[in-house]
Amino acid sequence: MDKDIRGKVAIVGIGHTAQGELPGQSPELNSVLAIKEAMRDAGIDRSALDGLITCKSVQGTNTDCQVGPLLGINPRYAQTLDYGTCNFSIHLAVQAIVTGMADTVALCYGANARTAKFPFGFTAPTLAGASGLMHVGGPAALALQRYKSLYGMTDEEFGYIAVGAREWARRNPVALFRDPMSMADYLAMDYLIEPLRRPDLTMISDGGVALILTSAERAGDFPNKPVYILGMSEASQIRGEFTPSYLDREFLGLASQQIWNSTGMTQSDIDLLYIQDPTAFWVLQMIEHFGFAPLGEGGKWLAEGHTLPGGSLPLNTNGGQLSECYMWGWMHIVEAVRQLRGVAGPERQVSGAEIAMYLSTQTWFKGGASIISTHKG
Amino acid sequence: MTETAYSKPVPDLDDPAMAPFWTAARDRRLTAQQCTACKSYRYPALEICPTCLEQGANWVDVSQEGTVWSFATYHRAFHPGFKDELPYVVAIVENADGVRYTGRILGPRDGLAVGAKVRARFVDCTDRFTLPAWELVAA
């Protein structure tokens, strides 16, 4: 069986709303407004769409059946992912397109958790909740504390993730957090959930993001340079907390092996790296699990400056969730496409970037990796 | 102490799956489910043993000695009930039977570290709710 998906599907449209506070706008409206922008970017109207994949909002809304009435179409193929962090949505779209279930698919995410005041302080009615474990920063802080204990990473080494995100965000007009933040500034900040500081955690914001994917055969008909999917992989740890040491997220190593084996690429082929970053520690873990730095040495590797502006492997050039906006990592892929098209603007465009990798996770349950490029193979 | 006076989150004590755990905590017993077939422990409760896929299980007393797998120190109260105790520590503790519990570290924190020895401590929070927590054991 031909399992090679390389170059068979391309991203031909990107769109998003303003990010930040969008009072009175539902996740579904934000999704549809983003799809409008993506259709404008792709030079199509709704008659060209025969697929829709929506990603549920944090409240569990924004399903395909809730977006459908606003979008005004009944596409052949419609699905909703429970936690469709961009990778998973892209991978599902590739599967639908290569199997002929759809030709041109819109993918969307919408959020209003900021102005809807979603209670992130919510605690589960469990021993952990009664003990005060709350916010995704809690588990991330537990994981980071253990990592620091095992490998001796300093706060400064770890700080390169948040400081680097801010450096990139300062070059991005969409980003919500653009004030300068030096390493000294970072280190002077109090801990929020020790050993995490405020800038090591994403802030909730409202917005919508959409992508349009189509088959390689059709991609040439669209106005922009197509960005092809060259490889994709996923791995799960759906046993969750019943997996010993689940916070170490070692299962991501399987997604890593699979994407390098299936594409024949290595870490040195990657020009741009995007990592979904609700917490800075997830970034460090993924840098190591995907082999960009050896286990336990990610902090030292970061301190060498590879991921900063001017470095050899720019990371989250939009500022990521830490400094750009919440959006569950969807804006990372928008940025990757802009960079690969060469339209990211003079301040942050990475010259000659041809291959980007995007990594995301659903906390400690699932992970995905995608490699995209303006080249088909 | 009455329930209204306790301002922190109270777990669902009436959840039939977990009620035996909370009842035992009132008696200063730390418990876990044990599979009647393969004797594996599991916590929190599950309807079937994920090791052998047999359904039979009993709640049994387990060791109250453990080690800190990791810990996090909250400097902000995301729930107002914790405001007066900042900074507070939440840890994942693995007990001597290999069962992992997420709970508070109470009392002196000298020597708090990954791998530190702890023992269970029970805090009566309301008439019905006793919180199992942990305290450091001097090395």
CB contact under 8 A, B11 and A127: yes
Domain hosting residue A74, numbered range: 9-117+204-219
CB contact at 8 A, B65 and B95: yes
CB contact under 8 A, B72 and A135: no
Give mean pLDDT, residues A318-333: 96
Q: Where in chain B is the domain with CATH 2.40.50.840?
A: 63-139
**Residue B4 clears pLDDT 90, i.e. is over it:** no
Residue A82 included in any domain:
yes
B8 touches A at CB < 8 Å? yes
CB contact at 8 A, A369 and A286: no
Q: Is the dihedral of CA A23, A25, A31, A37 positive or negative?
A: negative
B92 touches A at CB < 8 Å? yes
Q: What is the pTM of this model?
A: 0.96
Tokens of B117: 């020895």
| CATH number of the domain that residue A163 is part of | 3.40.47.10
CB contact under 8 A, A138 and B90: yes
Tell which of A219, A248, A275 closes a domain. Answer: A219
- Does A290 lie in the same domain as A369? yes
Tokens of A373: 């490029």
Give mean pLDDT, residues A292-297: 98
A74 touches B at CB < 8 Å? no
pLDDT digits (tens, 9 = 90+) for A176-219: 999 999 999 999 999 999 999 999 999 999 999 999 999 999 99
Helix (H) or strand (E) holding A283: helix A280-289
Which of B102, B114, B131 shows the shortest C-beta gap to A146?
Answer: B114
CB contact under 8 A, B102 and A128: yes
**Residue B3 clears pLDDT 90, i.e. is over it:** no
CB contact under 8 A, B50 and A239: yes
Tell which of A219, A247, A265 closes a domain. Answer: A219
The pLDDT score that the predictor gives to residue A85 is 84
CB contact at 8 A, A328 and A57: no
Which of A120, A125, A194 shows the shortest C-beta gap to B73?
Answer: A194
**Residue B1 clears pLDDT 50, i.e. is over it:** no
The pLDDT score that the predictor gives to residue A278 is 96
| Banded pLDDT at A251 (limits 50, 70, 90) | very high
- Does A141 lie in the same domain as A13? no
DSSP label at residue B77: -
pLDDT digits (tens, 9 = 90+) for A47-91: 999 999 999 998 899 999 999 999 999 999 999 999 878 899 999
pLDDT digits (tens, 9 = 90+) for A88-142: 999 999 999 999 999 999 999 999 999 998 876 667 889 999 999 998 899 999 9
The pLDDT score that the predictor gives to residue A121 is 65
Tokens of A371: 């490699």
pLDDT digits (tens, 9 = 90+) for A326-348: 999 999 999 999 999 999 999 99
Which of B46, B69, B90 shows the shortest C-beta gap to A133?
Answer: B90
Number of domains in chain A: 2
CB contact under 8 A, B8 and A191: no
Q: Does domain B63-139 have CATH number 2.40.50.840?
A: yes
DSSP label at residue A146: H
Contacts of B110 (CB under 8 A, 6+ apart): B136
Give B75 to chain A, closest Cα distance, Å.
5
B15 touches A at CB < 8 Å? yes
pLDDT digits (tens, 9 = 90+) for B6-29: 999 999 999 999 999 999 999 999
- Does A356 lie in the same domain as A213? no
- Does A213 lie in the same domain as A81? yes
**Residue A19 clears pLDDT 90, i.e. is over it:** yes
